[in-house]
Amino acid sequence: MYFIDRKDAGEKLAELLMDYSNREDVLILALPRGGVPVAYEVSQLIHAPLDVFLVRKLGVPGREELAFGAIASGGLKIFNDNVIRIFNISDDMIKTVLKLETEELNRREKFYRNNRPFPNLTGKKIILVDDGMATGATMKAAVRALKGKGKMKVIVSVPVAPEETCHSIAVIADEVVCAISSRDFSGVGSYYEDFSQVSDEEVIDILQRNENYQY
């Protein structure tokens, strides 16, 4: 099984999410940029509102690929105290990285959401959508950030991911829906015929076309 493109992936993913169709307590949050065209198709087919949820990793200075925390839409912040302790990251370092990443997140929020207020998530069933997961690090940060916001059900939904990543996400999410859960994972892009990069302009165009998103 593979996908023609992100539109096709979203259509196939929606088939697995029909239990959440036409429900007032459901909200779809897409991780830009690749998750937006996938989530748009899901939104249209299960008739649920769509919004975007941005996550920025807080990287260890000098080893930016390793996260000591993350920030996300709605002013959400999470920190990994073990990583902060092991790498002896000072309060000043934390403040510097946090300031830089917050500025970038705010820039993207303004661009994607046009200063629209972040939706109320309390009591909602949140379907977090991306175009796929590899390690799942960004998705884990998104789930933890949402869980720290209040009481809600978080459903992680992606077209493809390694089997072990789906299992690890299931530990922190309320539900995981993977159209393809692969033991022999070879990269998200290898499951798509067309996995071309999604531009900021395409994201805005998709959000403007969605009747459930008031840009």
Tell me whether strands 76-79 and 125-129 are parallel, antiparallel or unpaired.
unpaired
Domain boundaries, the chain: 6-49+119-208, 55-113
What's the pTM?
0.86
Q: What is the mean pLDDT of residues 183-208?
A: 92
Structure tokens at 27: 């909200």
CB atoms closer than 10 angstroms to residue 208: 12
Mean pLDDT along residues 76-94: 90
User: What is the per-residue pLDDT for 75?
Assistant: 81
- Asked whether the beta carbons of 41 and 10 are under 8 A apart, the reply is yes
As assigned by CATH, the class of the 6-49+119-208 domain is alpha beta
Rounded-to-10 torsion of CA 2, 4, 10, 12: -50
Please state whether beta strands 63-72 and 76-79 pair in parallel, antiparallel, or not at all (unpaired): antiparallel
Sorted by sequence, the CB contacts under 8 Å of residue 155 that are 6+ apart come out as: 17, 20, 125, 126, 127, 128, 173, 174, 175, 176, 177
At 214 the pLDDT is 43
Mean pLDDT of the chain: 90
Domain 55-113 has CATH 3.30.950: no
- The whole-number pLDDT of residue 211 equals 62
Which pLDDT tens digit goes with each residue over 126-172? 999 999 998 888 898 899 888 877 789 999 999 999 999 999 999 99
Each residue of 28-83: pLDDT tens digit?
A: 999 999 999 999 999 999 999 999 999 888 889 988 777 888 888 878 788 888 88
Which sign, positive or negative, has the C-alpha torsion 31, 37, 40, 41?
negative
